[in-house]
Amino acid sequence: MTTDLLLDSGAYSAKTQNKRLDVDDYIDYIKAHLDVFPNQSYFNLDVIGNGPRSYENYLYIKMKGLKPIPVWHAETDPKFLDLYIKDSEYIAIGAISSMSNERTIRSLDKIWREHRGLLVSKVHGFGLTSLLIMTRYPWYSVDSTSWVQFGRYGVILIPHTRGKRNWVYNENPHIVTVSSKSPRRGDRGKHLETFPPVAQNKFIEYIESRGFTLDEVANNHLARDKINMLYYLSVEESMPNMKLYLAGNFPVMKDPVKERDFRDTALGVTDKWRRLLSYFYPDDIKTVIEMRREEIKANHGKNN
């Protein structure tokens, strides 16, 4: 199987849009898609910032015969984290994506120091953008929308080097604006055009090593998304014990041609296409679900 999916309830999106998610509707959706989301490939319907309500939902979903990944929110009552550690081999930590790196590190350092059960658990980190946070803790899996967010601002991520051509993916990258329409074209040390010639040549070498031209990433946001996706796949490869799920990019996700193109590009450098989908956007994730079902059907045919 080349596709690996996780289903998020979309609780954070619902809260930011002042919408309510019904736990029974979520249960019905999961049960209708168990072929695509087997046990422990979907998260609990958490209630942002409310440990007791999140735990109630977790127990209720379990009572309905499902096995969700529980979600504990950083800086809420840690007794619920301990309950999840005792009950589930796979847990998720949320509410860290909006924190500063300093605050996140203080919070996560304390969590891993005081809750030793995490060391033998599979732990998912929601919404991670910082490579420092990804590499500092023993995550089993993480998800990120950064590959899309950077591209929308005309930015691509370029790894540092050791030696002449040894790209380093476990350190924070160069964040380089390349868009030809960017208002930062005159900002020294921000836009590629303002870097010294040696640095420019190194950046262009990386772009071309990924199969793109400077003109493509400067003028096409999908090319920027794709090269940033490849960067994050190399980050995952540099940390073999961690799975990285690509989240977001709904315009691509809804388009079968574009989604297949991104998937095929990814499978050119890795053996898995990992996607985090959101229940809150059911129409946007239909294409990915259908692609997964096609894959299951094809694999079933091979085995018969």
Residue 99 lies in a domain: yes
pLDDT of residue 262: 94
Residue closest to 88 by CA, chosen among 65, 115, 122, 64:
122
Residue 65 lies in a domain: yes
Residue 181 lies in a domain: no
> Coil, strand or helix: which one is 137?
coil
Q: Across residues 283-288, what is the average pLDDT?
A: 93
What's the pLDDT band for 34 if we cut at 50, 70, 90?
Answer: very high
Q: Is the pLDDT of residue 41 over 90?
A: yes
Please report, rounded to a whole number, the percentage of residues in the chain having pLDDT higher than 90: 79
Helices then strands, each counted (H, E), the chain: 13, 11
pLDDT of residue 304: 61
Residue 162 lies in a domain: no
Q: Could you tell me which residue, 201 or 95, shows the higher pLDDT?
A: 201
pLDDT of residue 49: 85
Residue 236 lies in a domain: yes
Q: Which domain holds residue 144?
A: 3-152+223-303
DSSP for residue 133: H
Tell me the per-residue pLDDT of 213-243, one tens digit each, with 9 for 90 and over.
999 999 999 999 999 999 999 999 999 899 9
Residue closest to 71 by CA, chosen among 96, 54, 89:
54
Of 63-72, 175-184, 292-301, least confident by mean pLDDT is: 292-301
Tell me the per-residue pLDDT of 257-277, one tens digit each, with 9 for 90 and over.
999 999 999 999 999 999 999
Judge residue 216's burial from the number of C-beta atoms within 10 Å of its C-beta, 0-12 exposed, 13-18 middle, 19 or more buried: middle
Q: Across residues 68-79, what is the average pLDDT?
A: 94
Judge residue 192's burial from the number of C-beta atoms within 10 Å of its C-beta, 0-12 exposed, 13-18 middle, 19 or more buried: buried
What's the pLDDT band for 189 if we cut at 50, 70, 90?
Answer: confident
Task: Supply the DSSP string of 184-241, one letter for each residue.
Answer: TTTSTTTBGGGS-HHHHHHHHHHHHHTT--HHHHHH-HHHHHHHHHHHHHHHHHHSTT
Q: Quick one: which H or E segment has residue 132? A: helix 131-136
Please report, rounded to a whole number, the percentage of residues in the chain having pLDDT higher than 70: 98
pLDDT of residue 117: 84
pLDDT of residue 187: 81
pLDDT of residue 119: 83
Q: Across residues 278-288, what is the average pLDDT?
A: 94
What's the pLDDT band for 178 if we cut at 50, 70, 90?
Answer: very high
Residue 161 lies in a domain: no
Total domains in the chain come to 1
Residue 65: which CATH number? 3.20.20
Tell me the per-residue pLDDT of 149-176, one tens digit each, with 9 for 90 and over.
999 999 999 999 987 678 999 889 999 9
CB atoms within 10 A of CB 121: 19
Q: Could you tell me which residue, 184 or 81, shows the higher pLDDT?
A: 81
pLDDT of residue 200: 95
CA distances from 74 to 68, 78, 94, 98 (A): 19, 8, 6, 11
Residue 185 lies in a domain: no
Please check whether residue 122 is in contact with residue 140, taking contact to mean a CB–CB distance below 8 angstroms: yes
Residue 205 lies in a domain: no
Measured CA to CA, the distance from residue 194 to residue 267 in angstroms comes to 34
Q: Is the pLDDT of residue 1 over 70?
A: no
> Coil, strand or helix: which one is 262?
helix
Of 68-72, 171-175, 182-186, 197-201, least confident by mean pLDDT is: 182-186
Q: What is the pTM of this model?
A: 0.94
